[in-house]
């Protein structure tokens, strides 16, 4: 059966049939997905692992350097200051210039910075990567496929943590040449970014019309479909990058993303320590157990993506995971729960916390077009980075002031709920179908 995208595409011309268009459409969509998503998945695994390894290094690094909870939280948060500087320029670079050159620059520079353990510099080096990929996907996938494409890409975040937890636990046993094990973690996990930064230049294609790996009729189909979607957006109002940033919906999305990630990254950074505190396990076993929430997230993310594309209910598929994350996280902090139940609730929290973004990042491209959407995605991620900075910083401060674990979790759960409320306030444009 032909998809809605195929039916919309069919021109009213003599001799043109739905079946002939579907013959081109379905293989094209599959070929684009198979070509781009696995490669972007690998890139994001490398990116997220380089970002999250500070969580795995927390316990030995804090012991080695004498970091308090407040110092660790501030140091982890400072990473995101560089993001704030380059999110909008990075997204516009992908929209107006070249995605593959910009992504190659990011991969190579952040890989080198990771090797040098340059936390503050790393944020500047990696800034623009995520919004750039979000914009890049809108260059290749029609709106009916975007949540599935985002799911295929964002699954790399929990996958990186599933792989990273046992890998980091293994590296943390290494003490060679008088170099601390946590330093080896940053050194060894930084090299893949440099290698793949070079591969990007030869593998990625900026736009469908340049894709020699597509057949001519496939290039024509996807280019025409994407052009039609741009025209639909323009018919509801022509937005410039600046006018897009002034839209209330963009600010609501930005604040929602910031509150969600404030909680999400605090959860992520303190997860191994939380598991160790609840279980009494060793550093190594606590690090390995921290992979379980992300393994569950790898199962829920594609389910949410498929459901979002099938129903078109982007707001609902963003709000429900946020509410569930708040509820599961709050329940995990009930005193004297047995550790297996705490771990189960933490797993459900992680699965929900990673699933809301699948539909969320489709929304900007549905309410704004081209440069306006690119600038807005960059702006949203810039404000989001402020939340990612504040989360570890605030949690580190609260813990250093003897706030209880339950009080901290209550604060973080409320941020998930605030994010869901802000998403509920987003008003769809005439043709967005949110």
Query: Does residue 149 come out as left (phi exceeding 0), alpha (psi in the -120 to 50 range) or beta?
Result: alpha
pLDDT (tens digit, 9 = 90+) per residue, 115-173? 555 344 444 445 557 777 877 888 888 888 888 898 888 888 888 778 776 777 777 67
pLDDT at 157: 81
Smallest CA-to-CA distance from 406 within 305, 274, 289 is with 274
pLDDT of 48 strictly over 50: yes
Domain 18-424 is in which class? mainly alpha
Question: Are the C-beta atoms of residues 39 and 80 closer than 8 Å to each other?
Answer: no
Distance CA 274, CA 346 (A): 10
Least confident among 106-115, 128-137, 391-400: 106-115
Return the higher-pLDDT residue of 105 and 256: 256
pLDDT at 95: 58
pLDDT at 118: 36
CA angle 190, 192, 195 (to 5 degrees): 120
- Give domain limits for the chain: 18-424
Quote the mean pLDDT of the chain: 77
- pLDDT class of 259 with cuts at 50, 70, 90: very high
pLDDT at 121: 45
- Mean pLDDT for the stretch of residues 326-337: 94
- Which pTM value belongs to this model? 0.70
pLDDT at 227: 86
Return the higher-pLDDT residue of 273 and 208: 208
pLDDT at 340: 92
pLDDT of 21 strictly over 50: yes
pLDDT at 424: 94
**Cβ-Cβ contacts under 8 Å for 268 (sequence gap 6 or more):** 52, 55, 161
């Amino acid at each position: 059966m032909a998809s809605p995208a195929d039916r919309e595409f069919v021109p009213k011309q003599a001799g043109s049939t739905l079946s002939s268009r579907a013959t081109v459409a379905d293989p094209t969509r599959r070929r684009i997905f198979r070509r781009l998503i696995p490669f972007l998945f690998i890139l994001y695994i490398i990116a997220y692992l380089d970002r999250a390894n500070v969580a795995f290094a927390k316990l030995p690094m804090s012991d080695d350097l004498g970091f308090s909870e407040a110092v660790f939280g501030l140091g982890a948060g400072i990473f995101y200051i560089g993001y704030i500087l380059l999110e909008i320029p990075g997204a516009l670079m992908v929209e107006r210039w070249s995605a593959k050159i910009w992504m190659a620059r990011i991969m190579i520079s952040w890989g080198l910075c990771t090797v040098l353990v340059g936390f503050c510099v790393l944020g500047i080096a990696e800034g623009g990567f995520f919004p750039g990929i979000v914009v890049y996907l809108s260059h290749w996938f029609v709106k009916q496929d975007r949540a599935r494409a985002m799911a295929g890409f964002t699954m790399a975040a929990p996958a990186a943590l599933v792989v990273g937890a046992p890998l980091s636990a293994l590296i943390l046993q290494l003490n060679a040449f008088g170099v601390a094990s946590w330093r080896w973690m940053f050194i060894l996990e930084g090299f893949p970014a440099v290698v793949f930064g070079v591969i990007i230049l030869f593998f990625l294609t900026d736009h469908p019309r340049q894709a020699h790996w597509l057949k001519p009729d496939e290039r024509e189909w996807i280019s025409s479909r994407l052009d039609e979607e741009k025209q639909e957006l323009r018919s509801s109002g022509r937005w410039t990058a600046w006018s897009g940033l002034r839209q209330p919906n963009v600010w609501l999305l930005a604040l929602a993303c910031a509150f969600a990630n404030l909680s999400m990254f605090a959860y992520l950074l303190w997860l191994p320590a939380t598991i160790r505190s609840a279980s009494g396990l060793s550093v190594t076993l606590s690090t390995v157990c921290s992979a379980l929430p992300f393994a569950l997230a790898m199962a829920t993310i594609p389910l949410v993506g498929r459901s979002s594309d099938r129903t078109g209910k982007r707001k609902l598929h963003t709000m429900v995971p946020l509410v569930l994350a708040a509820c599961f996280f709050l329940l995990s902090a009930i005193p004297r729960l047995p550790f297996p139940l705490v771990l189960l609730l933490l797993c459900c929290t992680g699965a929900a916390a990673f699933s809301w973004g699948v539909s969320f990042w489709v929304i900007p491209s549905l309410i704004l077009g081209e440069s306006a959407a690119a600038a807005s995605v960059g702006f949203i991620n810039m404000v989001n980075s402020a939340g990612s900075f504040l989360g570890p910083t605030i949690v580190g401060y609260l813990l250093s002031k003897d706030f209880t674990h339950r009080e901290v979790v209550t604060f973080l759960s409320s941020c998930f709920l605030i994010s869901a409320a802000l998403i509920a306030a987003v008003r769809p444009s005439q043709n967005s179908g949110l």
